[in-house]
Structure 1
Amino acid sequence: MKQWYEELFENYAVKYDKESFTQGTIGECDFIEKEIEYNKEAKILDIGCGTGRHSIELAKRGYKVIGIDLSESMLRRAKQKAGEEDVEVKFEKHDARKIPYLDQFDLVIMLCEGGFSLMETDEMNFQILQNAANALKSKGKFIFTTLNGLFPLFNSVKEFLNSEAESGNATYDNNSFDLMTFRDVSKICIEDDLGNQKEIQSVERYYVPSEITWLLKTLNFQPVDIFGAKLGAFSRGDKLSTKDFEMLVIAEK
């Protein structure tokens, strides 16, 4: 049986690129470049690359990037876009829970819920962090965003997501946040690239900063820095607050 995230990202690549939360690519890549001190020799792995927006932008700036994703339709779109932009990115189909790389990358990025926090169990989510750590060389850097567990304690997830959406974007309903598991169950309504209307029940795991810090420290990351993640404007100057839907995590191996 397909998991909800596999069903969601089937034939949803063109529409996905029009979602409001995918519009911050340039600013986010500016931040990434600054974090690796513009080192063009850096090898980058993009976990859960989706339609390749960060991979392609970084490749355009001269970096060697491999983008991996579970969705064949997202990867098809990524390859098509890379061809149109005339940039070279290696896109490969891999499950983030089973990444084949070891000590190969200077930077691993995992942005916009790139697999992490979507998995069925906490153990699977941890496996993704573990694989990212394994893929990094010594002194490598790991930059990712994840859902901020402080947000649903003070705000409505449904109201936030629907207020951010433009016409034609996905809509969210029937949200239910479980305080014991920090999982939000919701109904996502989309029209896919073929014009089919779909209703999918999603289950996403929110994390509090202390959990993320502890998980990464067990994987020998030090230091671990966490900030608020502003769309298209990542910054070390943004102290995480209850108003941030996502947090930006920067860890060094």
Structure 2
Amino acid sequence: MSSKFLLLALVFSCLFANAQSQVNIGGGQNLQALNGAPLTPEKVMELQGSYFFSDDFLPATLVDASGKEYKDKKIKFNLKSNIIYYTDWDGKLMQATSDIRKLIITETDKTTVFENFFPSIDGLDAGTYYKVLVTGSAKLLLSTQFSEAEYKEFNSAVTTKRVDKVYQLYGAANGGIKKLTKGEAELLDLLKDKSTELTAFIKQNSLKCRKQSDYETVFNYYNGLKK
């Protein structure tokens, strides 16, 4: 074997050994980028729960800021990111980028309406969609937030993230918005233009204004007064 061939073989051997020392995916080692920065593999995550209104695509009508309706869409709605996904005419998955102000989801037994563009409150901004429970001059709204907790089973390499929906009532009227948690006083403050009539109505019907059905009754009565 010629000396030139031996020299070339030695060079290639050294280069290969060096490459092995830099890119080693065994033994739990990190990969290294070309500039030497370590690239840590992403954590294996399993999700328990869902951020979506439904995990199925549901028929819906989308209404943008100009009032234009986009009907007969099949959508999935991410309640955490407020992103609406839909399937295009050719089945391609798309993300709604128009300024969608209202989302009307139609299921076999019910219709659910979401709206946004309300004043900011509690970290929720104009882009946050609320479920509309009562509509009219005053709107009773339901926000959906999430509690998240990560845990790992004993001797498991998989981290599980548990996601639970957390609901909160809000009222929107007269250009303002208020969290509804403490009963009659905050409700009357929001609907102060009819506070006298509402006070009498609440007393007459023995309403405590601490559960959703009580708020729905009061908001419907208020909207009737405003007609």
Greater helix content: 1
Greater strand content: 2
Choose between structure 1 and 2 for higher RCO, CA contacts under 8 A separated by at least 6 residues.
Answer: 1
TM bucket normalised to smaller: under 0.3
TM-score (norm 1): 0.24
Instruction: Select the structure of larger CA radius of gyration.
Output: 2
